Structure 1
Amino acid sequence: MSKILIVENLTKSFQSSGRSLTVLDDVSFTVEEGESLAIVGPSGSGKTTLLGLCAGLDVSTSGFVSLAEMKLNAMGEDDRAYVRNQFVGFIFQNFQLLPTLTALENVTVPLELRGEKIYKEKGRELLDRVGLGDRMDHYPSQLSGGEQQRVAMARAFITSPKILFADEPTGNLDEETAEKVTELLFNINKQEGTTLVMVTHNLELAAHTERILQIKGGKLVSDKKSSEVS
């Protein structure tokens, strides 16, 4: 298996009130194609910052990220956006659906941006797979939180991404809905053979992945198979 994600000596600092604040400090790890990985840690530990750097939403102060054999740090924003559109899927805690678009239109946006023609058919198929075949013409405001996250999940998979980044994907859902969304996410991810990198504070959710990285105070303090984490 080849490495789809390489993170090497990654450091991210910000200027705050005239002082330098280091959010990530010399973090290194690799992810194989098809692997599932959770990044856990307390609030403010740098998890979401790390995810954003891995996905090319931001660039590090030092060190580098290689995604699908491309070094993101050497790219401008337009090139990083192209890499994201071609290789990356996203699921966010707050769904990030466009309120003026229907469920189907939200799902198909990434393929439309690529200029692909047969996008509605694939969108319908994915909404069927997440159990929303009868809700395609509904707007986000007409959907429950769990339904909105399932729409977001369908949108994330529509481009057949090589890697999926999920940021607290069940964070805004009640326990029962979260369990259903988790089962659906991991089932589709397995069927598609997608690499999954997920940020969560929920250790039960993290246990569904093959490997768990623990971040504390911006440092990587543990990298274990999920079966070895108590």
Structure 2
Amino acid sequence: MSKILKVQNLSKTYRSGEHDLNVLNNVTFEVARGETFAIVGPSGSGKTTLLGLCAGLDTTDAGEIWLCDRNLFDLDEDGRARLRNENVGFVFQDFQLLPTLTALENVIVPLELRGIRNASEQGKELLAKVGLKERSGHYPSQLSGGEQQRVALARAFANKPSILFADEPTGNLDDETGTKIEDLLFELNKEQGTALVIVTHDLDLARKTDKSIRLRSGKIEETVG
């Protein structure tokens, strides 16, 4: 099975005052196409930093990242942005919906940016899949947290991404709502054949994935699967 994400000997250091803060140290792993993968670890272990690097939102100090067969080190900022727009979806803990747009308008933003003609029809289909067919005209402030995350899921899958990065996707939700969102995330992922990389501190969620790594102090402490 071909690899959609390959991380080799990755290290990242930030300057903090007069000291260097080593956030990631020699991290190596691979994610196959269509595979589900979790990055777990305590706060401060480097999880979110690693996710950002894998998505090309930041640059590495050492090591290589191959995303969708492209070496991120060889791309400039515009090149990484194009790669994300064409291949990557995102789901965040705080939903990141645009407050002045309706649920439907939020979902179709990535489609309209790509000039998709029937964006509205596709958006309505996606909202129906996440159980919000009757809420398409509502604004984020009129939706519950769980409903907002459903909109975010629909938006993330709108471009049929090759890989989706989810950063604590249920972190702001109660247990019952979070479980429903997890089920929906895996269901859409399987339906579209998307690779899924989840950052989470929830070990129960991590156990639902095909593989996982546990970070501690910027190093891989354990690999499962």
Give the TM-score normalised by structure 2. 0.99
**Counterparts of 2:109 and 2:56, CA distance in 1:** 20
> Which ranges of structure 2 fall in alignment gaps of 5 or more residues?
none
Query: Deviation digits for residues 40-65 of structure 1, max 9, x if unmatched?
Result: 00000000000000011111111111
Please give the secondary structure, in 1, of the residue aligned with 2:134. Answer: coil
1:196 is matched by which residue type in structure 2? L
| Match of residue 176 from structure 1 | 176
**Distance of 1:145 and 1:73 partners within structure 2:** 37
How far, CA to CA, are the matches of 1:200 and 1:90 in structure 2? 14
Query: Please, which moves more after superposition, 214-223 or 112-121?
Result: 112-121
Residues 186-201 of structure 1: matches in 2 within 5 Å?
186-201=186-201
How far apart, in 1, do the equivalents of 2:192 and 2:174 lie? 27
| Paired AA for residue 5 in structure 1 | L
Return the alpha-carbon distance in structure 2 between the equivalents of residues 129 and 143 of structure 1. 17
Could you tell me the percent identity over the aligned residues? 60
- Deviation of the 1:6 alpha carbon: 0.5
Q: Distance in 1 between matches of 2:72 and 2:96?
A: 24
| Correspondence for 1:124 | 124
In structure 1, how many angstroms separate the alpha carbons of the residues matched to 2:78 and 2:138?
32
In the TM superposition, residue 18 of structure 1 has moved relative to its aligned partner by: 1.6
Partner residue, 1:34: 34
State the partner residue of 1:207: 207
For 2:85 and 2:67, the matched residues in 1 are separated by 13
User: Any stretches of 5+ residues in structure 1 without a counterpart?
Assistant: 226-230
2:5 counterpart SS class: strand
1:223 matched to which residue of 2? 223
Please list, as runs of the form range in 1=range in 2, the aligned pairs for 1:1-230 lying within 5 A after superposition. 1-225=1-225
Give the residue type in structure 1 aligned to 2:59: V
Give the drift of 1:115: 1.7
Amino acid at match of 1:72: L
The C-alpha deviation readout for 1:57-85, integer Å capped at 9, x for no partner, is 11111111100000112211111110000
Structure 1 stretches of 4+ moved >4 Å? none
Distance, in Å, in 1 between the alignment partners of 2:29 and 2:205 is 21
Once the two structures are TM-superposed, the CA of residue 215 in structure 1 deviates from its matched residue by 0.5
Give the structure-1-normalised TM-score.
Answer: 0.96
Please give the alpha-carbon distance, in whole angstroms, between the structure 1 residues aligned to 2:214 and 2:15. 25
Letter in 1 for 2:163: I
SS, match of residue 56 in structure 1: coil
Aligned residue identity for 1:134: E
